[in-house]
Structure 1
Amino acid sequence: MPIRLLALDLDGTILADLHTIPPRTQAAIKAAAARGVHVVIATGREYDITHKFVELLGLTTPTICYQGALIYNGSTGETIGREGMPVPLAHQLIDLARARRLALQFCLGETGTYVEAPSSLSRQTMTAVGATVQEVSDLKQVITTPPIKGLIVHPADEAETLTRELKNTLNGSLNVFRSHTTLIEITSPLVSKGHALATLAAYYDIPQAEVMAIGDHDNDIEMLAWAGLGVAMGHATSGAKAAADVIAPPLNEEGAAWAIEKFILQGSK
C-alpha cells in the first residue's frame, strides 16, 4: 500500500541542528508532498517556533505540537485537537517543583509559556530554540485553565532518575517522559504523538497501514508503534528502535531522507 500520511519529528530526526533542515532532507520532504502525501510535523515544540519549518517546507497540513496535545493548521487557523492537563494536577506539579527546586514551566498554547523559577540551564535551552518564556512570581495564579504541557529542564546526568521519580510520585495521573537528554515533559495521560497521528489519519480518512512516521526519541515511541510503517533513526533511543519497523541511518547521514526516498519516492517495502 502506498504511504499517504507521513509524520516527521523535528529535533534529532530532520533537524541537523536546532534550526537547520539539510538540503537532501528538504528535497525528499518536498518531493513526497508534491506526490500528494500529507506530510505533517510532529514535535514537542510550540507552534510559534515550529511554523518556520512548516513554511520552509511549503506545507499546508496541520502540525502536531506539544507532543500531540495540540493539532493546529496555521494555514487555515483550524484547531483539530487540543488536550490539556487538569488544573488541580498542574497545581500539584507546581508544589512538587517548588519542593524540589525544579525549573518547571507550563505551556498554555495560545496565551504563551510561563515559568516561576528558571534555572540558568532552562534559560539557555529556551534561548537556543527561540522560545519566549515569561517569568512570573506565582505559577498558580497563571494556571487557571488547563495547560497543554509542563516542561522541566534538568541536567542530563540527573534527568533519567528524576523522570522515574516523577512517574512514581504522579502514579499515572500524568504522562511523564524525556524528549531530550535535558528535557522532561509532562502532559495529560491522554496525550501522545501516536494518539495525535491517529486523529489526523481519521481526519484525512487514511488507513493505519498507509501511515509512516519517523522519529528518534522516547516521545516518538507511540507514534512509531501506531504507524503502519514506523522508522527510527540510527541514533535513536532503544525504546524508539524497539517500537519501529525499520531502522534508518543516523541523523548525520540524513536517515529521514533515506527513509522517505526508499519507502515513498521509490515505493519500496
Structure 2
Amino acid sequence: MQDTSTHLATKQAEVKPPNVQDIRLIVVDLDGTTVGETNQIRPAVKAAIQAARDKGVEVAIATGRMYQSALRFYNDLQLTSPLMTYQGALIKDPASGQVHQHLTVPRSYVAQLLEFLGTPELQSLVSVHLYIDDRLYVREINAETIAYAERSEVEPVAVGDLRQVLDTEPTKLLALSQEIDLIDRLFGSLQKRYTPAELYLTKSVATFLEATHPLVNKGNAVQYLAEEILGLRPENVMTIGDNFNDLEMLQYAGLGVAMGGAPAGVKAVADWVAPDVEADGVAAAIAEFVLIGTEF
C-alpha cells in the first residue's frame, strides 16, 4: 500500500490541475456524501452517476455501513463494481457473491475495548455495537440503537454481555454517544492505547467512534479495487467523502473531493470542495470533472 502521507505531499506539490480525461473510477461515500437527511439518493445525484457510467466511468461505493445496509443503495444505482463496506473491511461483489476481502478485529483487542467501554461511568453514556457476519449485536436496545437501526434498516440483536458472541471475530466495533466531547475524549484515549499497527480507529460522524483491523481503511480498499481489480492507477480515480473516515481515500486518489459539510481537517486534504449533500455536491463534482459540457 502506498504511504498516504507521502502521496498527499506529492499531490499538494503539484501545480497543474488533474487531467480529468484520466478519471476512470469514481468512488463515493454514502452518509453525508451521497445520502442526506432523507436516507435516499437524490435524483440529481443519481442522474449524474448514471451519466458518468454512460461515459464508461466505473462508480463504486465505499462506506462504513454494514454490507446489508449499503446494498440497497448499490442496487438503486445499478452498480457493478464490488461494494466496499465497514470502512473497507468487507469488499464483496453482490452479483457473484465473491468476497474479495474480509478483515476482522483481533478478538483480544475487542475484549479490551469492551472492558474499557463497559465501565459503570460509560455504560449509561455509550452504546456499543458489534458487527459479526454482517449482523448487528448490541448490549441492549436503547434510543440510539433504535435510531441507528431504523436508518440502517437492520435488525439489532440484544445479547447483554457482548463478550458471549466473541466466538467469531467481529468485522467492526462501533461506540456511539450523543455527547460529542465524550467521543472525542475516548478517541484520544484509545489512540494513546493502540498504535495504528494494532487497530484502525476513526470517526465516521462526530458521534461515532469505530475500530477495525489495522489494515482497514477506505484508502486501502479503493486502492485494491482500482489497482488489483480494475487495473487502474491513482490518477484514474476520483473519490468523494465528507468525514475523517474518508481521509485515506481522498489522499489516495488523483482527485479527492470533500463535501461542503466536511470538517476543516477533511477539506484541507482535498483537491476540491463540493457543495454539501443537500445541495447535490456529488452531482456538482461529477459535472465539474467528468461530465464537462454534458447535459444530464
Q: What range is the shorter-chain TM-score in?
A: over 0.9
What are the residue-to-residue correspondences of 1:160-171 with 2, within 5 Å? 160-171=184-195
**Structure possessing the higher radius of gyration over alpha carbons:** 2
Distance across 1 between alignment mates of 2:68 and 2:293:
34
Give 1:39 deviation, angstroms: 0.6
Task: Give a deviation string over 1:36-70, Cα, whole Å, max 9, x none.
Answer: 21110111001111111111111121111001101
Secondary structure, counterpart of 2:262 in structure 1: coil
For the 8 Å contact 2:39–2:151, the answer to whether it is kept is no
TM-score, normalised to structure 1's length? Answer: 0.93
Distance across 1 between alignment mates of 2:176 and 2:288:
36
Instruction: State the partner residue of 1:66.
Output: 86
The letter for the 2-side match of 1:146 is E
What are the residue-to-residue correspondences of 1:99-248 with 2, within 5 Å? 99=119, 100-101=122-123, 102-110=126-134, 112-157=135-180, 158-172=182-196, 173-202=198-227, 203-248=229-274
Give 1:125 deviation, angstroms: 2.3
User: Is the aligned partner of 1:254 residue 2:280?
Assistant: yes
Give 1:128 deviation, angstroms: 2.9
Distance across 2 between alignment mates of 1:142 and 1:86:
13
Secondary structure, counterpart of 1:205 in structure 2: coil
Instruction: State the partner residue of 2:15.
Output: none
- Alignment partner for residue 35 of structure 1, among 48, 55, 66? 55
Number of residue pairs matched by the alignment: 267
Secondary structure, counterpart of 1:265 in structure 2: coil
**CA RMSD after TM alignment:** 1.7
The letter for the 2-side match of 1:165 is S
Instruction: State the partner residue of 2:45.
Output: 25
Distance across 1 between alignment mates of 2:193 and 2:85:
26
Instruction: State the partner residue of 2:34.
Output: 14
Rate the CA distance shift 1:169–1:120 in 2: closer, same or farther, 3 A: farther
For the 8 Å contact 1:18–1:128, the answer to whether it is kept is no
Give 1:82 deviation, angstroms: 1.3
Rate the CA distance shift 1:3–1:156 in 2: closer, same or farther, 3 A: farther
Rate the CA distance shift 1:62–1:267 in 2: closer, same or farther, 3 A: farther
User: Is the aligned partner of 1:85 residue 2:110?
Assistant: no
Of 27-36 and 16-25, the range deviating more from structure 2? 16-25
For the 8 Å contact 1:107–1:147, the answer to whether it is kept is yes
Rate the CA distance shift 1:71–1:86 in 2: closer, same or farther, 3 A: same
Rate the CA distance shift 1:13–1:72 in 2: closer, same or farther, 3 A: same
Rate the CA distance shift 1:18–1:193 in 2: closer, same or farther, 3 A: farther
The letter for the 1-side match of 2:213 is S
Secondary structure, counterpart of 2:157 in structure 1: strand
TM-score, normalised to structure 2's length? Answer: 0.85
Q: What 5-or-longer segments of structure 2 have no aligned partner?
A: 1-20
Q: What 5-or-longer segments of structure 1 have no aligned partner?
A: none
Instruction: State the partner residue of 1:45.
Output: 65
For the 8 Å contact 2:91–2:99, the answer to whether it is kept is yes
Rate the CA distance shift 1:152–1:132 in 2: closer, same or farther, 3 A: same
Secondary structure, counterpart of 2:290 in structure 1: helix
Of 246-255 and 154-163, the range deviating more from structure 2? 154-163
